Homo-oligomer: A and B are copies of this chain.
Amino acid sequence: MAPLICDGVLDAWRSFLTAHARLTEAVDQRLTGAGCVSLGTFDVLLSVHEACDHRSRMHELADHVVLSRSGLTRLVDRLEADGLLRRERCPNDRRGAFAVLTDDGERALQAAWPVYAAAVRELFGGAFGQGDDDARRF
């Protein structure tokens, strides 16, 4: 039988899959190796930080980090236990809750940021034409 994969799009897809697995693993190891939060935690903290008033509804947060609602509930549980996030009741909608950055969460985000940025630029940016490497304006 001929090889199943003989198509540019499918080759690219497989490269995409392996690149994602290796890159996320490498970036996560940079973060945790430097004593920072994990990549998953960082994504959540950053999303909350970028939201209006540094707070985000749970379902919006779940959408933004591409996690199920239940998955986000547990993750926020952990971050709340770690003191990085806290929940706040939503005044308009008594069903809803906000995730809000605590001061510790803000500090953890700021501490992780340079590690994250450097790792992404080096590992991800370096894997491409690195045409933007001199466009750093951090």
**Which residues of A pack against B, CB within 8 Å?**
3-10, 12-13, 16-18, 20-25, 43, 46, 49-50, 66, 109, 113, 117, 120-121, 124-125, 128, 132-133, 135-138
Residues of B within 8 A of A12 (CB): 124-125, 128
Copies of this polypeptide in the complex: 2
Give Cα A32 to B22, complex, Å. Answer: 25
Contact sample, A vs B, 26 pairs, CB 8 Å cutoff: A3-B50, A4-B46, A4-B49, A4-B109, A5-B46, A6-B137, A6-B138, A7-B117, A7-B121, A7-B135, A7-B136, A8-B132, A9-B121, A9-B125, A9-B132, A9-B133, A10-B120, A12-B125, A12-B128, A16-B20, A16-B23, A16-B124, A17-B20, A17-B24, A17-B43, A21-B66
